[in-house]
Structure 1
Amino acid sequence: MKIEVYIPVLLKFSDDSVVFKDEDLDIISQKVFVNFDKNENELLRRNHLDYFLKEETLEILMKNLASHGLNIRTNDILGEFYYYHHRIIIKFIFQVADDFNGLRKLRSGINEFYPKFIKECVLDHINSISITKAKSFYSYMMIIIPKNKHQLNNYTDKLGSVTFSIIESTNRFLSYGYTHYVRISIPSLNVYYDKEISNDIKVDLINLIYQNLLYEKKLNDRGIEFSDNLYENLEKYNCIDESKLTSFWNSTMEMLGGKISEKQAHNIDKHNYYLTLIGLFISGIVLGQTIYDYFGMRCLLMYIGTLSIGLIMFGTARYLKVKNNN
């Protein structure tokens, strides 16, 4: 089973109006990216971030996870990294057993790992050349999880925190849409899915985290004087309260269509879609009968062959389009 973890990060500066000049940003980027392996494969960059974490970095994470009782080898971890100006995104892909039930431990191990990682790989390099110092950062974790027997299988699971379903439209032939469950809590946003989840949904969720959570928190903290101690600042300010959580929940439902009325409308559209397919199927049978009555078996076989080839070509084209998009 594959678990994806995203950590969108927004940097907090002593003066948040700072905009680095191109030459300063180039120097910072060079200092930052020397700690990573560049993703040179253009095809891979469609589904992955620009840089990969090195094995020695993953070994540190592995030890953190082991301290929480999780035995995950570095070969089963892929770490990715993105940085530009005020933003950092860290991504992990973990290959775990299908009956994995250590999500809380996984989250705790990652939370212990990445503050020091960000400080050493980004903040220290910014502060070495910039007069305006990076004092802290805001972050919020997003976890993408295939549903298994330990997750969201019953009614009470869905009442544990703020949980709602969203429906993702699909370009697949004869498939109208996929349902994903979004669970929002103070430690993280979790997305559970039965079938594949597109990069578009992941991008939308990350942008929602930035827009309606991290930037909102940063604006609210404008008048606060941050100390020079990163870990003290993180403990005080890198957290969300229930009012922020409720606001984030509302905006996420609004953007992704989690309202009851929108789901009911989708169900009606879905039924209409399948009724249309049934109507087309019946029309095809009637047309075939007419061809047989007027032109005989040979023309009927030609009609069936042409129709079958057309459907196969259409279905294959749709499949390849979806595969390339993902």
Structure 2
Amino acid sequence: MARGSARVREEGVRFVSEGRRLRLAAPAKINLVLDLLGSREDGYTEIATVYQTVELADEVTVSVAEGPDRTVIEAEGLDLPPERNLAWRAAEVYRRAAGWSGGIRIALRKRIPEGAGLGGGSSDAAAVLVALEELAGRRLGKEALRRLASRLGADVPFLLEGGLAIGRGRGDELEPLPDWPRPLPVVLARLGPPLSTAEVYARARLTPRRDPPKIQRFLDQLRAAPRRLPPVGNMLFGPAAELRPAIRRLVQRLAEAGGRAAMTGSGSAVFGLFAAEEEAAAAARALAAAEPEAWVCLTRTLPRGGRARAGGA
């Protein structure tokens, strides 16, 4: 629903079950903090991050039926070969691990911008794993499902349950944190096409790190004053803003509007975390007016396990 501007959208989540079909929300994530800690032997970057899911979500419908062992995917707004789609790969990984026989059909309705650092593809994959595990009668169990998720991508394990959590290692070594006392309003914004994750990380490796890791400051304030907004930050912000100067401008506008503002993931989306709904709504309207080409979305934080049911069991 628009608030004050037709270009400012407010998104919620749904979970619907109908026989051998499940329709789930696949929520977006933001990185409230993202620290780079060094290179790993496996070629990945060692990170420490604070994840948070929000109500903006894709819709993922998973149907199963007797018949050939075949996975079909219909992705509205996406033009990818099936084997390059993370949701399709999630179904195939689950099929092999669980010994699944029969047909699987996945329908994606995309609302999360692709290549924005909001975890849309990873969340779709997590939703497919959750749906198939439910339809299979919890055949694998939580720990096995988490291991499958880790094989698909660093963000996928977190997005199985979402909420607020620390991610270490590649981001898949998780430590859940208590949810906020109440949902917090969040303004998301993006201007321009996706950034190359590889290019942003490559530039970060060449950039001297002037800032100390931010995660400890975040955690210290969260524990000392859980009702106050803790500081946010992202060590990839500088390298990404060099490639896309508009990122810096969007973050500055949200910060000036009173939000705790930073970039999420490797960009190009940014967020502002606010204490009050009215303040966030005003910031979203002002940003949409000041940046008429930008995508702007007003949403809220989600608690752990936040997939609200909207239909039958």
Sort the TM-score into its range (normalised by shorter chain): under 0.3
Considering fraction of residues, name the structure with more strand: 2
Q: Of the two structures, which has the highest relative contact order with CA contacts closer than 8 Å and spacing of 6 or more?
A: 2
**Scaled by the length of structure 2, what TM-score is found?**
0.25
Considering fraction of residues, name the structure with more helix: 1
